[in-house]
Structure 1
Amino acid sequence: MRRCRELHTMVPSQSLRYWLLPLVAHFCLSAGRAAAGKVSAIIVLGDSTVDPGNNDFIPTIAKSNFPPYGRDFDGGVATGRFSNGRLVTDFVSEAFGLPPSVPAYLDPGYTIDQLAMGVSFASGGTGLDDLTPRIASVIPLRQQLEYLKEYQERLRVAMGSAAADEIIAEALYIFSIGTNDFILNYLALPLRPAQYTAAEYVAYLVGLAEAAVRDVYDLGARKIEFTGLAPFGCIPSARTLNRDAPGECDEEHNRLALMFNEQLREAVRRLNVDLAGAQVVYAETYSVLSAIVANPSDYGFENVAQGCCGTGLIESSVLCALDEPLTCPDADKYAFFDSVHPSERTYRIVADHLLNTALRVFL
């Protein structure tokens, strides 16, 4: 993987990066596959950034199992992923020599034998704060942890305790959650701001994140990654709703992300001291997404201010279906597929970044 980092430093800037970066990413993903066996499975908890379709099987409006979503996924199928194709966790799974996509736990089309190599309990619209999933009637993190317990029991029944426990101990557990607590909850509704200052709410969320890591540790997890927040003030919907500077990134939102990330780093340090035999890593994504937004042409993007779906200004989920005829012809030119979620090409770049940084210790 050191060679991957060297290749990144050799890639020239501006237009040539559009052609060379995908090749570098492919090389790095292939290098990761050579390390197959070090991680038994990819086990995912979180929100829409890592939900491969669990929301398809619950009564919520927060769905994406219809066009134009999934149009660049294998077979052009809208699986319930909030993107035109694969997610970061799908690329990470492939890099570890596991299946090229991580299935949704609630999808009845998968057997426990298939889920043994990877599973996602994530739910689009959820958060660390229990109030957040209630807004869109989605799966709380505490319920995702209950599903994890159920999954482990199913593994033991199917494979025996020894084999199941080995999978559980050698799996990589990925958390990607927290943005909705701000954009759907604290910044949109009055209840939490009446109870907490921004700094207090950040501390509250980080405490919940730390508790969730301790919970999966108690269930046998030893390889754990917690993803920091991206600059969510730069997602297209945040630009559209930015009253002070319409069309520009909302820097106040970005400061909340940075505050959360700094405290999450400290929590990860504590966890590594406290949890014997565990390796917990903080996965930094803020810088890579900020770089894409600041210098899109370096990464081959033509548009970072709008999503590919519809007008790109506010559409997400069902609104993308309503404005499907307006959807862009080539999502690879857009950093975001809808007004909230990245395109597959952005997810691939982020996955490559994580494989060369936080996840490198597990390869």
Structure 2
Amino acid sequence: MKLLAKALGVKEYLPAYLDPLIQDKDLITGVSFASGGTGFDPLTSTLASVIPLSFQVEMFEQYIEKLKKKVGEEDAKNIINNSVYFISASSNDFLTNYFVYPFRRLQYDVPAYSNLLLKRAAKFIKEIHELGARRIVVFSASPIGCIPIERTLKGGIKRKCVGKYNKAAEVFNIKLKQQLQVLASSLPESRIAYSDFYNPLTNIIENPQLYGLEVTDKGCCGTGQIEMSFSCNSLSTICQDDSKFFFWDSLHPTEKGCEIFTDLIIPDLVKSLF
């Protein structure tokens, strides 16, 4: 999100709303309510012990009240109406919930689970629209089967992309795009953009040389095949040049990877939102 804010010319750094050092000026130019690991499915945030979307809406309401006190009600309304809202979820719903724990798989097949996620996504979008959000970007699910850790765990001895996981993402994405079109036509004054996460990332992973990369099937940290998050630390071995890797660890992109992805999607986002 930091790179998106920079690419749109807003500011260099997008602070977290819950940052205790946040300043009043940050409220005027934008903050992040996101919580890494959450999803549209409330169970996902529970399993990951992170902030659910429902509480993110509450934080947004708190933010609006603070903004009104800072700049006045009319200016606050203009800021809220003209800001861009990025929503990125769904991949964790599949990766850390549906395909890991049996609870949802016993209740739903992939199409039915996708419908559950869409219902929750629509509810969230309607709630922030009611609070004044008008320009809303929703990212699709990524090619989750090609993430290094999934290649290692489910991709066989050759660590191939996991077709079943990617197919689930594709099913969800088709439904998401349709749902967003319906919402865009039904919510007053809204511009709701579907941002394709799946195909640009697939293209980068399959054609790294086109983007100045060399390695896209493992991360820079450690073996790059299983380590992620806290298991990447000062004791971990690190690749010599992380700018040649798309992934930093077995799950998250490097800064270079994020920059490449941002450059690919920004032109379409600008057309959709402005």
* Aligned residues with identical type, % of pairs: 37
Counterpart of 1:116 in 2: which secondary structure? helix
Aligned to 1:147: 59
Counterpart of 2:31 in 1: which secondary structure? strand
**Which amino acid in structure 1 is aligned with residue 46 of structure 2?**
R
Aligned partner (choices 209, 216, 237) of residue 121 of structure 2:
209
Q: What is the root-mean-square deviation of aligned Cα atoms in Å?
A: 1.3
| Structure 1 position 358 matched with structure 2 position 266 | no
CA 1:245–1:360: 2 relative to 1, 3 Å: farther
| Structure 1 position 275 matched with structure 2 position 187 | yes
In the TM superposition, 1:114-129 aligns within 5 A as 114-129=26-41
Aligned to 1:195: 107
**Which amino acid in structure 2 is aligned with residue 146 of structure 1?**
E
Aligned to 2:92: 180
In the TM superposition, 1:202-281 aligns within 5 A as 202-242=114-154, 244=156, 246-281=158-193
Tell me by how many angstroms 1:91 deviates: 2.1
**Which amino acid in structure 2 is aligned with residue 272 of structure 1?**
A
| Structure 1 position 294 matched with structure 2 position 192 | no
**Which amino acid in structure 2 is aligned with residue 105 of structure 1?**
Y
Aligned to 2:242: 331
Tell me if the contact between 1:172 and 1:224 (Cα under 8 Å) persists in the aligned partners: yes
In the TM superposition, 1:87-166 aligns within 5 A as 89-166=1-78
Aligned to 1:54: none
- Provide the rounded CA distance (Å) in 2 between the counterparts of 1:264 and 1:218: 20
Tell me by how many angstroms 1:327 deviates: 1.5
- Provide the rounded CA distance (Å) in 1 between the counterparts of 2:163 and 2:95: 13
Tell me by how many angstroms 1:276 deviates: 1.3
Aligned structure 1 segments of 4 or more residues deviating by more than 2 angstroms = 243-246, 358-363
**Which amino acid in structure 2 is aligned with residue 120 of structure 1?**
S
Tell me if the contact between 1:306 and 1:312 (Cα under 8 Å) persists in the aligned partners: yes
Aligned to 2:254: 343
Structure with more helix by fraction = 2
Tell me by how many angstroms 1:245 deviates: 5.5
Tell me if the contact between 1:125 and 1:133 (Cα under 8 Å) persists in the aligned partners: yes
**Which amino acid in structure 2 is aligned with residue 212 of structure 1?**
F
Structure 2: give runs of 5+ residues left out of the alignment: none
Aligned residues between the structures? 274
Counterpart of 1:127 in 2: which secondary structure? coil
CA deviations 1:188-245 (Å, max 9, x no partner) are 0011111111111011111111111111100101111101111011010010011545
TM-score (normalised: structure 1): 0.73
